[in-house]
Amino acid sequence: MLILGIDTSCDDTSASVVEERKILSNIVSSQIKFHSKYGGIVPEIASRKHIEWIWDVTESALNEAKVGLKDIDLVAVCQGPGLIGSLLVGLCFTKALSFASKKPIIGVNHLEAHIQAVFLEEKSPDFPFLSLIVSGGHTSLYRVEDFGKYKEIGRTRDDAAGEAYDKIAKMLGLSYPGGPFIDALAKEGDPEKYKLPKPFLHGSFDFSFSGLKTAIKVLLKNLNIQEGNPPEDFRKDLSASFQSVMVEVLIEKIKLALNEQRLKRAVITGGVAANSELRKQAKNLEKEGFEVYLPSKALCTDNAAMIGIAGFHKFQRGERSDLFLNARAYLPL
């Protein structure tokens, strides 16, 4: 069965063809250069770029997979959560494709797709497992019983982990999105240099990262360092110090949740799961007897192949959408 997946939930225009669990193509067209000078995503620009690019990106996905629209058995589209204007572009486009080509359509939750990205890899987990989604918009822990069976056991009460990375990067004068820059700088810095508060929220699987942001603001002020223009050494040491606290909290919560939920497998996914230190420490959990699954970096960040596979599994369980399918900025799993 061939599935065409479409994702326009934020700032990446993406289309992919998957043959059930096998990726035939996965085109991701990044808009970053149009947003970075504003220090974050400008929703209006994102929607307009999606409109400009969606057809070409979809054609490239079909061409790279060496198939035509006539060969596709199902079109799957991200319905939410995400930026409403961006989502609507993907949705209207996919509904038009479905109508014109008489192919069935299915709406997919972006978070379900992030979790299912791991099933596009050669090595994928058995059920049940724990899943941590760490991205620019979400930091949530789920107990996953089966495809379509998710129970949220924790979530961020304020900033998402990726949002914290991006906001702190901005204070350090780094471009948007800041996660990859902090990741690189941290390798050259001293993680012990600045003692930052560890936001743990004991007795809960929730997260809170906004205090870290405030602590760094205060540190800059106390050291008389101008926000957005710190010296290079400070950038490196602060990146290392911030990242070490962030990764420590994420890893400790995963471990606690695995033990409390009596689970032995963890899947870590979403953009921040591309972080090198998080990946290294997550793999270390295997020494303690847990199984850890991390999709490849390209499948951790937003892409349409994950929409395709999640759409495939929904279709298999008998779910169907129709042309009344609508976009939802907030869409819980």
Q: How many residues bind Zn ion (CB under 5 A)?
A: 2
Q: How far is the CB of 262 from ligand KG4 (least distance, A)?
A: 28
Stretch that binds Zn ion, among 28-36, 194-202, 228-236, 300-308 (CB under 5 A): 300-308
Q: How far is the CB of 298 from Zn ion (least distance, A)?
A: 13
163 forms part of the interface with Zn ion (CB under 5 A)? no
Q: Using CB distances below 5 to 8 A depending on partner kind, what does residue 80 bind out of ligand KG4, Zn ion, none? A: none
Stretch that binds ligand KG4, among 34-42, 130-138, 260-268, 312-320 (CB under 6 A): 130-138
135 forms part of the interface with ligand KG4 (CB under 6 A)? yes
The two structure tokens encoding residue 333? 């799993």
Q: Judged by CB, which is closer to ligand KG4: 98, or 275?
A: 275
7 forms part of the interface with Zn ion (CB under 5 A)? no
Helices (H), the chain: 32-35, 43-64, 84-101, 110-116, 161-171, 179-186, 210-222, 232-260, 276-284, 297-300, 305-316
Cα–Cα distance measured from residue 105 to residue 102, given in angstroms and rounded to the nearest whole number = 9
Pairing of strands 2-7, 74-80: parallel
Q: How far is the CB of 328 from ligand KG4 (least distance, A)?
A: 15
135 forms part of the interface with Zn ion (CB under 5 A)? yes
| Bridge partners, residue 23, by sequence | 18
Cα–Cα distance measured from residue 233 to residue 283, given in angstroms and rounded to the nearest whole number = 29
Cα–Cα distance measured from residue 73 to residue 29, given in angstroms and rounded to the nearest whole number = 24
Residues in the chain: 333
Query: Do residues 45 and 31 touch, judged by C-beta distance below 8 A?
Result: yes
Stretch that binds ligand KG4, among 60-68, 200-208, 219-227, 270-278 (CB under 6 A): 270-278
81 forms part of the interface with ligand KG4 (CB under 6 A)? no
Q: Judged by CB, which is closer to ligand KG4: 97, or 166?
A: 166
Residue closest to 85 by CA, chosen among 137, 49, 33:
49
Residue closest to 137 by CA, chosen among 119, 161, 107, 157:
161
Site residues for ligand KG4, 272-291, by CB under 6 A, read: 272, 274-275
301 forms part of the interface with ligand KG4 (CB under 6 A)? yes
Q: Judged by CB, which is closer to Zn ion: 159, or 302?
A: 302
Q: Judged by CB, which is closer to ligand KG4: 136, or 308?
A: 136
Stretch that binds ligand KG4, among 131-139, 208-216, 282-290, 317-325 (CB under 6 A): 131-139
80 forms part of the interface with ligand KG4 (CB under 6 A)? no
Stretch that binds ligand KG4, among 15-23, 94-102, 174-182, 251-259 (CB under 6 A): 174-182
Cα–Cα distance measured from residue 114 to residue 294, given in angstroms and rounded to the nearest whole number = 11
Distance of CA 78 to the CA centre of its chain: 13
The two structure tokens encoding residue 54? 């969606």
Residue closest to 320 by CA, chosen among 105, 162, 148:
105
Q: What is the largest CA-CA distance in the chain?
A: 63
207 forms part of the interface with ligand KG4 (CB under 6 A)? no
Residue among 14, 166, 167, 307 that touches ligand KG4 (CB under 6 A): 166
Cα–Cα distance measured from residue 164 to residue 313, given in angstroms and rounded to the nearest whole number = 33
177 forms part of the interface with ligand KG4 (CB under 6 A)? yes
SS3 114: helix
- Residues that bind ligand KG4 in the complex, under the rule CB under 6 A: 10, 135-137, 162, 165-166, 177-180, 183, 270-272, 274-275, 301-302
